[in-house]
Amino acid sequence: MAEREEKRIAVEGAGEVSALLVRPAKAKWMLTLAHGAGAGMQHSFMEKLAEELAGVNIATLRYQFPYMEQRADRGRRAPDPPAVLMATVVAAVQAVVEAGRGLPLLAGGKSMGGRMTSQAAAQGLLRDARGLVFFGFPLHPPNKPGTTRAEHLMKIPMPMLFLHGTRDTLADLKLLRSVCAKVGQRATLHVIESADHSFHVLKRSGKDDATVMRELAETTAAWAEKL
């Protein structure tokens, strides 16, 4: 069983946001886990991923970005400006540094959440993190290949894990491979056959979504052990 604790995190200039700490009894790592642009920390993907990570002894702190926190009261809202998103990433990392009980820290997230984490790291704002984990890095808009969004990755000093599906329309696999090659030994790419940006897989792959979620968690744990 994993300990679950609801938390509030103060974000400079943007008030407070909700967060949820999931900590297994034998936790070896702590991972801040930011959500994607269209769904918050309670989305089924985020919940299942946190459960699988707990199963491999990785604690997680999931948290909301301010715009998602406000949706319940004001309806659908566009994501916050990058400065606010990055300030939220930094606040979440600081929260786990203070509450992590000495666990080594990883930072990352799903899609936009991972990208904002990477941008904060590129600006030197996540020095406590030993590595970054990206669950579907959004390299470019859907079906519009490009690498402009990857330029800041070259400035990140810590190791990075890219978890990517072959049907992901937000990251052409050939382009992502070339980006990882440019980053060099700091980048590790793990490809999941037939998975899309949400890590749903085709039946002919021989896998199901639950198997893929377990693979994401186990791959993250194995990578972390080598840091």
Higher pLDDT, 179 or 73: 179
Mean pLDDT of 29-51: 95
Question: How many helices (H) and strands (E) would you count in the chain?
Answer: 6, 8
The pLDDT tens digits of the residues spanning 156-185 come to: 999 999 999 999 999 999 999 999 999 999
Q: What domain count does the chain have?
A: 1
Q: In angstroms, rounded to a whole number, what is the distance separating the alpha carbons of residues 12 and 212?
A: 36
Domain that holds residue 193: 2-225
Q: Report the CATH number that the domain containing residue 36 is assigned in CATH.
A: 3.40.50.1820
Tell me the C-alpha to C-alpha distance, in Å, between residue 223 and each of 7, 29, 149.
28, 12, 24
Chain segment 91-120, per-residue pLDDT in tens: 999 999 887 678 999 999 999 999 999 999
